[in-house]
Amino acid sequence: MDFKDYYAALGVSESATPEEIKKAYRKLARKYHPDVSKEENASDKFKEVGEAYEVLKDPEKRAEYDQLRKYGARDDGSFQPPPGWQSASGFGGGGYTEADARQFSDFFEEIFGGGRHGGFSGTGFGGGGFRQNMRMRGEDVHAKLALFLEEAINGCEKQVSFTVQEADQHGRVMPRQKTLKVKIPAGMREGQHIRLKGQGAPGVGGGEAGDLFIEVELAPHPHFTVEGRDVMLTLPIAPWEAALGATVTAPTVSGKVNVKVPKGSTSGRKLRLKGKGFPGKHPGDQIIVLQVAMPEQHNPEAEKLYEQLAELEKNFNPRSKLHV
């Protein structure tokens, strides 16, 4: 079945106001009226603009058409109703527009259930306009939310702003900004989603609203990085702390803790703090990576001590594995 572009038929844009649509229709209806027009195929053109106006003049039908136009129109110009769409049962009667077409296209009948099966009487339908059973679920909406590491691990409440597409009182599909307070559960990690049912775009014809999916992003932290459920920390220690062993203070996401540095530690050695990572059924850990740090300057006495140390440990070659 061929798709009918009603906006193109009237020569108006998708954002046209009801006044602009009405003005365009009247102009074209006069131009192609079979009683006065000398245009080729005037009768067909007259029916085409009448059909287009019958849909676009009504806010609800226009909104439904816009949804079908977005999801049912194919690149080759054909039309395939999207999944979940139900055809209407027909017209209930009621005055048509000024156009006195006797029938509409197959495309119109497939969508709105009228035309030849609805029963025409002269130039009108006789009683109360369209009846439609078309129901379409609203679009799902996706948004991103940046969290500090502490917020992701401990949970928090945040405001989320996002945009949904919905029809205004004139049937035009317009963007609308929404803001919600969202409770973030403890333990949310980068890339995970929170689903809020029914907070997406509104449905059409009484269809249910779509859902809102919030994707969690983690803001960079000055001290910590994340690997899976584990939190990583590089902890600088002094050379003497590494050589002799020491108890030092280290930060965690939940506060400060004392950490025992084993005697003879080297840069790259890892210490594990169980359960100090992301919470969950299998909680993560905090992994501390030791890094031996040297003072930028030594006083003369310290330099003499290093000279003595070098003499005492002259048989130690830290590059022995490199065979140099």
Q: What are phi and psi of 21, to 5 degrees?
A: -65, -45
The class level of CATH for 141-218 reads: mainly beta
Q: What are phi and psi of 55, to 5 degrees?
A: -85, -50
pLDDT tens, position by position, 184-202: 999 999 999 999 999 998 8
Instruction: Report how far residue 118's alpha carbon sits from residue 88's, in angstroms, rounded to the nearest whole number.
Output: 10
Contact indicator for 139, 172 with CB cutoff of 8 Å: no
CATH architecture of 224-312: Sandwich (2.60)
Angle separating helix axes 59-72 and 42-56, nearest 10 degrees: 110
The angle formed by the CA atoms of residues 220, 224 and 228, to the nearest 5 degrees, is 90
Instruction: Report how far residue 193's alpha carbon sits from residue 145's, in angstroms, rounded to the nearest whole number.
Output: 10
Above pLDDT 90, what percent of the chain? 49
Supply the pLDDT for residue 252.
94
| φ/ψ bin of 77: left (φ > 0), alpha (ψ from -120 to 50), beta (otherwise) | left
Domains 6-131 and 141-218 share a fold: no
DSSP 101: -
The angle formed by the CA atoms of residues 101, 105 and 109, to the nearest 5 degrees, is 105
Contact indicator for 96, 54 with CB cutoff of 8 Å: yes
Bridging pattern class, strands 224-227 and 212-218 = unpaired
Domain positions in the chain: 6-131, 141-218, 224-312
Q: Across the chain, what does the average pLDDT equal?
A: 82
Q: How far is residue 32 from each of residues 12, 24, 41, 207, 235, measured CA to CA in Å?
A: 17, 12, 8, 38, 82
Q: How far is residue 33 from each of residues 24, 51, 288, measured CA to CA in Å?
A: 14, 14, 83
Supply the pLDDT for residue 85.
54
- 3-state helix/strand/coil string of 169-210: CCCCEEEEEEEEEEEECCCCCCCCEEEECCCCCCCECCCCCC
Mean pLDDT per 10-residue interval, the chain, length 324 residues? 84 91 89 79 87 88 80 61 48 38 64 45 32 64 95 95 81 83 94 94 81 95 95 96 96 94 96 94 95 92 92 90 83
CATH architecture of 6-131: Orthogonal Bundle (1.10)
Supply the pLDDT for residue 112.
66
pLDDT tens, position by position, 198-230: 999 888 667 789 999 999 999 999 999 999 999
pLDDT tens, position by position, 4-53: 889 999 999 988 999 899 999 988 988 888 777 778 788 888 888 988 99
